[in-house]
Amino acid sequence: MNDVKAMIERLKKELDLLGDNPQQEDVSAVITEILGCRGCDISCFMTDSDVFQTMLDTIPVPVYYKNTTGRYLACNKALCEAYGFARTDIVGKTAYDFFPKDVADSFAVGDKALIHDASEERLEHRGRFPGMEDSFHIIHKRAFKRNGNVEGIIGVILDMTEIKKVEDTAWASEAFFKTLFETAPMPIVIINGFNMIMDMNSSAAQMFDPVATVPGQEISSLFRYHSDFEKVMSADGGAIRVEILGSAGVEEVVAMVSSNVLNGEICYAFAFIRTDI
């Protein structure tokens, strides 16, 4: 680090000697002479371990670098906090020192594929990080190459636990309401904006002729008269007495419809109530 400071001091002095309006080529020549870089290329500083480590530590998510044998050679502060260890306790170790064998085995398989293919990989890991509760993570890994040769693996770990909880809750809610829909005693038929049948519950499947209830069928075919279908659609949610083509023939029922938006598209739910109950 002292060498870097000395070079910077020398650079400042040489630039001052160029005057108030130096030419670009003169500035580039000074930089090249002192730093060994062309123009404003500062990549020469990256050989300094302190600068490299500081850059890693500014990244707010866990980052690591390991060699082709799986040993950690570098990591940032966020990874140390995730593992609950000091950097000196991580560098030189492998995933087998922190994860169960089956998990570490899966990491090793992925690393080998990256090393041989020199490609990128995205892993999803659900499990326990050292010192952390049950969590869900996405690990982005890619091979680090220099002069065409793979020298190690760079990995970034994203904690997706909260997002996964929201997704799981959404799926659970969807499954719950799907169950209510399927088991509802009232026959319900869902159609899209083109009046085509999208779905129906088991009660509806029992009420109508199986041939007429195939998804993709036009819903008006369930009614004895097309005008009955139009009456229900124009009733603004009101109950309309109509005749349908049921599984046992023509049947009089009360029908009503409601609308909603599903996946950005409007859809309609037809509910039917038998009048002979």
pLDDT in tens, 72-126: 988 889 888 888 889 888 989 998 988 888 888 888 888 888 888 766 666 656 5
Q: Tell me, what's the pLDDT at 272?
A: 92
| CA–CA separation, 101 and 177 (whole Å) | 40
Let me know whether 54 and 162 are in one domain: yes
Which has the closest alpha carbon to 216: 231, 194, 233? Answer: 194
Helix axes 24-35, 2-17, angle to 10 degrees: 150
**DSSP-based three-state secondary structure for 265:** strand
**DSSP-based three-state secondary structure for 132:** coil
- Beta carbons of 241 and 227 less than 8 angstroms apart: no
Instruction: Average the pLDDT over 8-22 and give the result.
Output: 71
Let me know whether 52 and 164 are in one domain: yes
Number of domains in the chain: 3
Q: Tell me, what's the pLDDT at 121?
A: 66
**Looking at the chain, how many residues does it have?**
277
Let me know whether 209 and 128 are in one domain: no
Let me know whether 64 and 146 are in one domain: yes
What does residue 78 show for φ and ψ, rounded to 5 degrees? -60, -35
pLDDT above 70 coverage of the chain, percent: 71
pLDDT at 28 over 80: no
Domain boundary among 125, 148, 175: 175
Let me know whether 28 and 56 are in one domain: no
Let me know whether 143 and 94 are in one domain: yes
Residue 22 or 197, more confident = 197
Let me know whether 39 and 52 are in one domain: no
Let me know whether 197 and 119 are in one domain: no
CA 175 to chain CA centroid, nearest Å: 21
Domain that holds residue 163: 48-175
Burial 172-202 (b: 16+ CB within 10 A, else e): eeeeeeeeebeeeeebbbbbbeeeebbbbbe
- Beta carbons of 254 and 237 less than 8 angstroms apart: no
Domain boundary among 157, 175, 193: 175
CATH code of residue 84: 3.30.450.20
Confidence label for 45 from pLDDT (cuts 50, 70 and 90): very low
Let me know whether 55 and 94 are in one domain: yes
Q: Tell me, what's the pLDDT at 44?
A: 46
Instruction: Name all contacts of 51-60 with Cβ < 8 Å and 24+ positions apart.
Output: 51/4, 59/156
**DSSP-based three-state secondary structure for 76:** coil
> E strands along 32-71, which residues?
63-67
Let me know whether 60 and 90 are in one domain: yes
pLDDT in tens, 192-245: 888 888 888 888 888 886 665 566 788 888 888 989 999 998 888 888 999 998
Q: What is the pTM of this model?
A: 0.46
Let me know whether 58 and 149 are in one domain: yes
Q: Average pLDDT, whole number, for the chain?
A: 77
Q: Tell me, what's the pLDDT at 117?
A: 75
Instruction: Average the pLDDT over 149-171 and give the result.
Output: 76
